[in-house]
Structure formats: C-alpha cells, structure tokens
Amino acid sequence: MMGPRFPGQSDQAARRSATTVRNNPRHWSRILFGLLLPVLSFTGQLTAQAPRIELSAAHWDFGVREQGETDRFVVKVKNTGTGPLTIRDVKVTCGCVNATMANRTAPIPAGGERDLVLTLVTARQRGKMQKYCYVSSDDPKTPQAVIAITGEILGDWRVEPKHLNFGIVQAGKTPEATFRVEVRPGRTVEILETIKSSDDFILEKVPFGKLEAPHGWRIKVRLKDDVPPGPFSAAVHLRTGNRNLPYENVMLHARVQGELDVRPGKIYFGRVLHGESRRAVIRLSRKDGRPFDVSDEVRLEGFAKRVRAQVVKRKDGRLWEVLLTLSPESPDERLKGRVRLHLEGAGQSAVAIPWQAVSGPKRPGR
C-alpha cells in the first residue's frame, strides 16, 4: 500500500516514503498512544471515583457476661472515597451475634456513613469467645473488612467432655468412662431427666461438691457385655430446668471387636401400621466359620409384647438366623427394644441387637 503522494513526487519515491514511515517506531508509538488514551482517561476517572470503606471499630470486646444477658455494639461504616460504596454482604461466624444494617443494599454516598448494629445473644453460649464479622463491599482496595468479637460468657452449668470414646473394646467386656455435670458456685441446677438413646449401657450418677463451690455429678457410663461387634455409637440426653441451657447431649463411641459376625447390627422396622406386621432377619456366624450354639431362650427387652422371635439353626451351627415379627398394639407409638441371645462357643456369652420402629394408624376401610 502506498501512502499519500506529494506534487512532483514519483511513484517509487512515494513507496520509499511509506516504507520509511511504517518502519519508524515513533509512528507506531503515536498510533498506540492514540488508542490507549481513551482507556487511560476512563481508568483514571474510575480511580478518581473509587469508594473506600472505613470502620469506626475493628474490635468489639464485650468483656464478661452472664449467660442470658444481651449487649449491643454500633460500628460506623464510612465511605471515605469519592464514589458510592455498595455493601454486598454482612456475615458473622457465630449465631450468638446478629448483624443488622438499615438500607444495606442502598449505596453509601461519598463522605457518608451507615450504622452496623451488632447484637450479642448469650442464651445458648458459654465460655471464651473469639468470633468475626465480615463486611463485604465493592471497595477495590479492601473488598472485605473484618470486625473481631471477643469476650467470655459465664454459664450456670456445663458438661465435660461432650464426647466419650471407649476406643477398641473386646466383645464381652464392660469398660467404663465418666463425664461431669459441673454447676457454678452458688447456682442450683436440677437434672429433670436422663434419656439414653439405647439400652447398651448403664448410667450411674455420683454427686460431688457443695453449693458454695463447684458442684454437680460425675456420671459413669458402663457398656454392657452383650454389645454386638462393630462400630458403636449412642447418646445421653440431659434435660434440666435451667432457663438458659435446658439440655445437653453427650455422645458415646466405641469399636467392639470379637469373633462373632452379626448382620445387621441394628434393626430398623420403619413405620408399621397398626394391625399389620413386619418381619426382619438377624444372621449370626463366627468370622472363622466354626460352629457355635445359640439358646432357644430369647430375652426381649423394651416393648417385648410387640415382638416375637424364633431362632433357626443353619449349616450345622455355622450360621444362625433369628426371625423377628413386629406387630404394634396401638398407633402413634415410638417403639424400641433389644433382642438378647445367649451364646456358647461364639467368643462372648451373649449378644443383644437393638431394634426401632414407629407405629401408625390403620389404613382406612380395614
């Protein structure tokens, strides 16, 4: 392509002039600068109009509070930039603190501010706290501002530990573990009810301490000798009359090892309608395939009248089946119990398999 031709200039001279222009770096610099100038001007305008978030406080230490008390703290969210500031989200890492901001979705104009109200609710909390409130915005320099929240909440009572792990337990053994229900000096807490999620363990409450000192109960948990091999998990539910903390749960865990293979380790009948029946089968065998004996005398615990059990010998005693039949006597019941079997030559003298069910009303027209 040939550039503009001047009067009296030959074609060859015009082509040489165009080539010289194209090969000149200054020529392309001028073109590139011309293209970038609008972009640089627009970027400069954006930078000049950028919002800037600034918090009046980055830390709230609410001190020591009694359980059940509430507190309030206001943080000024300021826009010190030159463009409008949009608060995109406000999150707190604890349900004990509520964060509210009026008209949060409306942009904060340059030079303006808005109140972020933090409300502390201590009813379900206790102990030392360290939580955070995150304020997300369209500030390009600080897209997420952070407020640290610290303090201590004094509860009337506590449970330690909340998880009891018996570890690996040999089948037929009865290991023990203990957790404490500790009440603050001068406070009174009454345990109204202790609920066990299963009958595979025994509880024993032993009181300690006096009213003017830390006091409460040491609760011993002892596994029964008939827990079937395999993973074991259960819970202890404590219900009290305390207004701030009416209940607590303690989880129990263990892995029971033995020669016996029980399948399934738990029976779930599901929902069984009143007037109907549902069946289930428990199969027992030794892991080494050797024969053993199961007594015909089956002990039914819990809702014993609802369940029938029959023991059947298979494969010359190398496999045993227990045939269960559940027949609810009334609707709207939550049923549970255990089927306890007496054994010989199985590596443990007894095994108990828990079962659960829910009964429902009869079908219409039946």
- In this structure, are 162 and 146 located in the same domain? no
Whether residues 16 and 37 fall in one domain: yes
Identify whether residues 215 and 245 lie together within a single domain.
yes
* pLDDT tens readout for residues 247-271: 999 999 999 999 999 999 999 999 9
Q: DSSP string covering 317-339, please? A: GTEEEEEEEE--SSSS-EEEEEE
- Helix, strand, or coil (residue 34): helix
Q: How far apart are CA 303 and CA 357, in angstroms?
A: 10
Asked if 80 and 56 count as a contact pair (C-beta separation under 8 A), the reply is no
- Tens digit of each residue's pLDDT (9 = 90 or more) over 69-96: 999 999 999 999 999 999 999 999 988 8
Is 312 inside a domain boundary? yes
The set of residues, in sequence order, having a beta carbon less than 8 Å from that of 302 and lying 6+ positions away, is 199, 335, 336, 337, 338, 355
Domain span at 41: 12-48
Q: What is the dihedral of CA 13, 17, 20, 22, to 10 degrees?
A: -130
Q: Above pLDDT 70, what percent of the chain?
A: 86
Residue 328 scores a pLDDT above 70: yes
Looking at residue 190, what is its pLDDT? 93
* Residue 365 maps to a domain: no
- Overall domain count for the chain: 4
Give tens-digit pLDDT for 293-315.
999 889 999 888 889 999 999 99
For residues 144 and 205, membership in a common domain is answered with no
The residue type of 71 is D
Q: Is 1 a domain residue? A: no
User: Are 36 and 82 within one domain?
Assistant: no
Q: 178-195, pLDDT tens digit by residue?
A: 999 999 999 999 999 999
Are residues 147 and 208 part of one domain?
Answer: no
Do 112 and 166 have their domain in common?
no
Q: Are residues 22 and 62 in the same domain?
A: no
Exposed/middle/buried for residue 98 (C-beta within 10 Å: 0-12, 13-18, 19+): middle
Give the pLDDT confidence of 197-216 residue by residue, as tens digits. 989 999 999 999 999 999 99
Q: Do the domain assignments include residue 244? A: yes
Report pLDDT for 331: 79
Does 310 fall in a domain? yes
Q: What is the pLDDT of residue 118?
A: 96
Residues 253 and 275 in one domain: no
CATH number at 356 reads: 2.60.40.10
Confidence label for 3 from pLDDT (cuts 50, 70 and 90): low
Are 169 and 226 part of one and the same domain? yes
Residue 218 and residue 142 in one domain: no
Q: Please list the residues that pair with 82 across neighbouring strands.
A: none
Does residue 20 form part of some domain?
yes
Cα separation of 306 and 326, whole Å? 6
Domain end among 230, 257, 284? 257
Looking at the domain assignment, is residue 3 inside a domain?
no
> Which of the listed residues 231, 257, 283 is the one where a domain comes to its end?
257
> pLDDT by residue (tens digit) across 21-41?
556 666 556 666 566 555 555
114 in any annotated domain: yes
64/136 same-domain check: yes
For residue 99, count other CB atoms closer than 10 A to its CB.
Answer: 18
